[in-house]
Structure 1
Amino acid sequence: MHDDALRVGGAWPAEIRAEFARNRENGCVGTRLVSETDRVRVWEIRLAPGERIGFHRHVLDYFWTAINPGRARSHLQDGSTVESTYSAGETRHASYGPGEYKIHDLENIGETELIFTTVEFLDSANRPLPVPAAVRA
């Protein structure tokens, strides 16, 4: 969770709960895989106001950088919902030990396009999840 995230209350709507159940193993941590080597996967996330990227699972060590400022809402695997504000250039790192992971979604609740770059490290403690050809640049 983002350090400055604000937890918001309320149970998840039925469609969000159903999507969470369906996508627990989704390895697409961005909207487009722009580059992949034997060491890293580089993802782009571009969300217009009101758009969201559905639930996805982080199993690899990674970092993300916000390309522009914005606001987002995420539903987290523990059943909570958080809202965050991002600054251009803001960067966060995450690491996962064997068997550890994070599942969440991301919805742009701001007024402008929300853009992130995410870099996953393939030599992490967990095996990379497969990603479909359709997300590759």
Structure 2
Amino acid sequence: MGHDSYFDPPLAATVVAEGFARWSPELRKEFDTNAHNGQIGQLLVKETDLLRIWETHLRPGERVPVHRHVLDYSWIALTGGRVRQHTSDGTTREITLVRGQDLHFHLSRGQYHLYDVKNIGDELLSFLTVEIKGGENEPLDL
């Protein structure tokens, strides 16, 4: 369901746990509740017929709740930092981001990414995410 392309190309990521059993009941419930949450960032800066641009600024300890990507997307780290991410396959990762780092993800028909992101660093973490419309999947309603 799209899980195998989370890190292609790879990030500096460390798997810290595998399996839903290590997750809190609240987190497991959030994955169910937000299974079709299309709000992938904190602020939708711009939306056109071709794309959506999201901006996110996370203070230490803040997180973006579980959200679902269905469109091809790219993101760029505006600052460096560390995040913890829980993914819908039950994996928990800690990822080091470098300022200026960018990644692009292609999602084929029916594929998706479903995860949360928490700033586990000591500094503000900022990034932009650009969703590209017109691909193999329809945009989620916001």
TM-score (norm 2): 0.90
Q: Where does residue 47 of structure 1 map in the other structure?
A: 58
Give 1:15's aligned amino acid. Answer: E
- Please, which of 58, 73, 87 is the counterpart of residue 76 of structure 1? 87
Q: Aligned pair 1:5/2:13, yes or no?
A: yes
SS in 1 for 2:31: helix
Q: Aligned pair 1:21/2:29, yes or no?
A: no
Q: Where does residue 117 of structure 1 map in the other structure?
A: 128
Q: Aligned pair 1:97/2:108, yes or no?
A: yes
Equivalent pairs: percent with the same residue? 44
Partners of 2:48 and 2:140 lie apart in 1 by: 15
Unaligned runs of 5+ in 1: 132-137
Partners of 1:71 and 1:109 lie apart in 2 by: 6
Q: Where does residue 47 of structure 2 map in the other structure?
A: 36
Q: Where does residue 85 of structure 1 map in the other structure?
A: 96
What are the Cα deviations for residues 6-30 of structure 1, in whole angstroms up to 9, with x where unaligned? 0012611111101111000000110
Give 2:62's aligned amino acid. Answer: E
Size of the aligned set, in residue pairs, is 131
Q: Where does residue 3 of structure 2 map in the other structure?
A: none
Partners of 2:135 and 2:14 lie apart in 1 by: 30
What are the Cα deviations for residues 20-71 of structure 1, in whole angstroms up to 9, with x where unaligned? 1100000011010000111010001111000001000000001000000010
SS in 1 for 2:28: helix
Runs of 4+ with deviation above 2 angstroms: none
Q: Aligned pair 1:106/2:117, yes or no?
A: yes
Partners of 1:102 and 1:42 lie apart in 2 by: 17
Give 1:28's aligned amino acid. Answer: Q
TM-score (norm 1): 0.93
How large is the Cα RMSD of the aligned pairs?
A: 0.9
